[in-house]
Structure 1
Amino acid sequence: MNYELLCSKVVAATRLTGNFIRKESMAFDSNSIEYKGLNDMVSYVDKNAEKQLVKNLSKILPGSGFITEEDTEDITDRTFTWIIDPLDGTTNFIHGIPTYSVSVALYEEDKPIIGVVYEINRGEMFSTYKGGPALLNNKEIRVSKAENLTQSLLATGFPYYQFEKQPQYIQLFTDMMQKCHGLRRIGSAAVDLAYVACGRFDAYFEYNLNSYDVAAGAYLVQQAGGQIMNFAGGDEFLQTREVLATNGLLTEEILSTIKKYF
């Protein structure tokens, strides 16, 4: 299989969906919001973007499976499986905050082979493929070279449901804030991970995440020379819904801090 050619087709399909979302943002009506659960919002833009993305990706690999946020398709017993979030950062989108993205990962069996994250408002296309580099708008990217937390800028996310872990998470925030340049909360896990991949953030951690939030961004981090794991340091980050992404140099220091609270 020509993974580079496959990735170029995925990039094109992802860009089409991003262009649709950008166009809809110009006249978005907040009255169209639906609630899937506490603070868990969705709009017609999410749903239509997902339908469009599934349709176009299905043309690239007919018969492939899908794991999707809005359940347009939910077929997993295939050799190739797409893991997609058509609009990662829905809350930002709804409130007119310009950081949201399209996230597309392709797995062959249980291994990633394509990762694409399109940050829509800056027009930044992050992409990678099996055997290739991690790219930002076709230029190779690498993780940062920060060697300790005192040199670092970190990203995280705040839980908006399942608050039972919130007390120790706040303790973790307090600990981290005293060790680094600062903590940022952008509101799109896919973008956070892409920013680790290109060295803007030195590390990122969050829990309560779904596979479609992180699958593409995690592969970008790995392909850019970084490390990705759960809060115990294991590889099962998609299953445990906990993600720590680092430049590799900060892993031990951050993981030891996280393990004090989780």
Structure 2
Amino acid sequence: MANFTKKEDRPLQRLLPAILEAGKLFLEGYHAPKEVRHKGLVDLVTQYDTAVEALLKERLAESLPDFTLIGEESDGEEARAERAVYIDPIDGTTNFVHAIPFCAVSVGVWEDGRPVAAAVYNPVQNELFTAERGGGAYLNGRPIGVSKEPKLQQSLVATGFPYTKVEMGRDFRWVVASMERLLPHTQDIRRLGAASLDLCYVALGTFEAFYECNLKPWDVAAGILLVEEAGGRITDHLGEPYRLGAPIVVATNGKVHDALLERLADYEEGA
């Protein structure tokens, strides 16, 4: 792994100007009329998704030239590299289209299979979450940390519904079965529609936990580091260390993690 000795040389400092510039274009698009296309039956994309991604790729190619840039709108989900920057130009595009202010630009920098820097920026709410490995997690420059709640019953849990729900196959059955098993044993469950921000809100202590199936690398590449640096725990549904591409991500404050895992349905058997 590279050793960035000067602050200005570290990946986080090198990506921040780009993500702040992208946020201006994002905010412009949030308030403007949009051209909406369908990538799938319910999976939306706008001209701002592609424009924000293009801007980020251009700027990050200059500031992080030794990294492979992998974006949601222009690269395959199986794309991998030893040194990679995963870009989600607008996480929560459905919210973006409907003017629901829970959407963000998400950029995660990975080296040797681990996240080393992350930024998630919601310019609508003026929330910039940042982290770098070993340096803590921050919201608008202020340190943040996970909730100290020890009981699942008193926990506010976030989740999401995958686009594959329309197929009514294994993902759909797992979502419904997990909700049935988990909901009575929580304070409540929220579904806000942007995984990167769900993870940030676990890091912030707003949510005690978040879980979801069938997420792509750009959905979680930044949020994973934010949770870890805020003192939380990230695994797959079996309690093993999370790897990009795993079918399920589980993020918690660490205190309710095992109890949450026990309540999730068996994904391998299709719920």
Tell me which residue corresponds to 2:158.
155
Shift of 1:63: 3.6
Is 2:182–2:264's contact at 8 Å kept on the other side of the alignment? Answer: no
Residue in structure 1 matching 2:70, options 67, 77, 99: 67
Tell me which residue corresponds to 1:185.
191
The letter for the 2-side match of 1:84 is: I
Alignment partners' CA distance in 1, 2:245 and 2:237? 12
Residue in structure 2 matching 1:117, options 114, 117, 120: 120
Shift of 1:2: 3.8
Alignment partners' CA distance in 2, 1:163 and 1:55? 39
- From the superposition, tell whether residues 4 and 232 of structure 1 become closer, same or farther in structure 2 (CA, over 3 Å): farther
1:211 matched to 2:217: yes
Is 1:231–1:258's contact at 8 Å kept on the other side of the alignment? Answer: yes
1:26 matched to 2:25: no
Secondary structure of the residue aligned to 1:128 is strand
| Counterparts of residues 237-248 of structure 1 (less than 5 Å) | 237-248=243-254
1:194 matched to 2:200: yes
TM-score, scaled relative to structure 1: 0.93
| Counterparts of residues 1-80 of structure 1 (less than 5 Å) | 1-2=4-5, 4-5=7-8, 6=10, 7-29=12-34, 32-71=35-74, 79-80=82-83
Residue in structure 1 matching 2:169, options 164, 173, 178: 164
Is 1:3–1:113's contact at 8 Å kept on the other side of the alignment? Answer: no
**Cα-to-partner distance string for 1:48-67 (whole Å, 9 max, x where unaligned):** 00000011111111142022
The letter for the 2-side match of 1:143 is: V
TM-score, scaled relative to structure 2: 0.90
Residue segments in structure 2 that go unaligned for 5+ positions in a row = none
Residue segments in structure 1 that go unaligned for 5+ positions in a row = none
- From the superposition, tell whether residues 3 and 219 of structure 1 become closer, same or farther in structure 2 (CA, over 3 Å): farther
- From the superposition, tell whether residues 99 and 3 of structure 1 become closer, same or farther in structure 2 (CA, over 3 Å): farther
Alignment partners' CA distance in 2, 1:202 and 1:253? 12
1:234 matched to 2:237: no
**Cα-to-partner distance string for 1:169-189 (whole Å, 9 max, x where unaligned):** 212112222111111111000
Structure 1 window deviating more from structure 2 (159-168 vs 66-75): it is 66-75
Sequence identity of aligned pairs in percent? 35
Is 1:149–1:253's contact at 8 Å kept on the other side of the alignment? Answer: yes
The letter for the 1-side match of 2:240 is: G
Residue in structure 2 matching 1:175, options 160, 174, 181: 181
Is 1:51–1:72's contact at 8 Å kept on the other side of the alignment? Answer: no
Secondary structure of the residue aligned to 1:67 is strand
Shift of 1:250: 0.6
Alignment partners' CA distance in 2, 1:3 and 1:245? 31
**Cα-to-partner distance string for 1:222-256 (whole Å, 9 max, x where unaligned):** 11110111111122442223110000001110011
**Cα-to-partner distance string for 1:74-127 (whole Å, 9 max, x where unaligned):** 996754210110100001111111110011011112121101111221111110
Structure 1 window deviating more from structure 2 (216-225 vs 170-179): it is 170-179
Shift of 1:139: 0.7
Alignment partners' CA distance in 2, 1:63 and 1:192? 30
Is 1:85–1:212's contact at 8 Å kept on the other side of the alignment? Answer: yes
